[in-house]
């Protein structure tokens, strides 16, 4: 059995805060997809604030809520 990645809005560069699609200028669901999908690294099973590029920086979108074991949709790898 092959295991494949899905190209949905959750791993698309066009996804903005509040589930707005930058390309189509409309609200989307995480299960939506389209032909304009541009893959970006998204959440992984070990994603958390402690290994997020933004954690503890002014670029963090939720600095008051951020905790080492939490995660948000702005997560970005530190690598």
Do 27 and 57 belong together in one domain?
A: no
- Give yes or no: residues 50 and 36 share one domain: no
Q: Is the pLDDT of residue 58 over 90?
A: yes
Instruction: Say how many domains are in the chain.
Output: 2
Q: Do residue 52 and residue 22 come from a single domain?
A: no
Q: How many CB atoms lie within 10 A of CB 9?
A: 20
Q: Check residue 1 and give its pLDDT.
A: 86
Pairing of strands 15-16, 20-21: antiparallel
Q: 64 and 37, same structural domain? A: no
Burial class (CB in 10 A: 0-12, 13-18, 19+), 60: middle
Do residue 29 and residue 50 come from a single domain? no
- Whether residues 76 and 49 share a domain: the answer is yes
pLDDT band at 11 (very low <50, low <70, confident <90, very high): confident
Q: Which domain holds residue 34?
A: 1-42
Clarify whether residues 38 and 48 are in a common domain. no
Rg of the chain in Å (alpha carbons)? 14
Note the pLDDT tens digit of each residue in 12-56.
Answer: 889 887 889 999 999 999 889 999 988 887 777 788 899 999 999
């Amino acid at each position: 059995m092959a295991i494949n990645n899905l190209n949905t809005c959750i791993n698309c560069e066009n996804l903005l805060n509040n589930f707005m699609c930058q390309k189509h200028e409309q609200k989307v669901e995480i299960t939506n997809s389209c032909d304009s999908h541009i893959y970006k690294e998204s959440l992984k099973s070990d994603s958390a604030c402690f290994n997020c590029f933004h954690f503890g920086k002014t670029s963090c979108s939720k600095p008051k809520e951020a905790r080492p074991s939490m995660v948000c949709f702005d997560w970005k790898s530190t690598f």
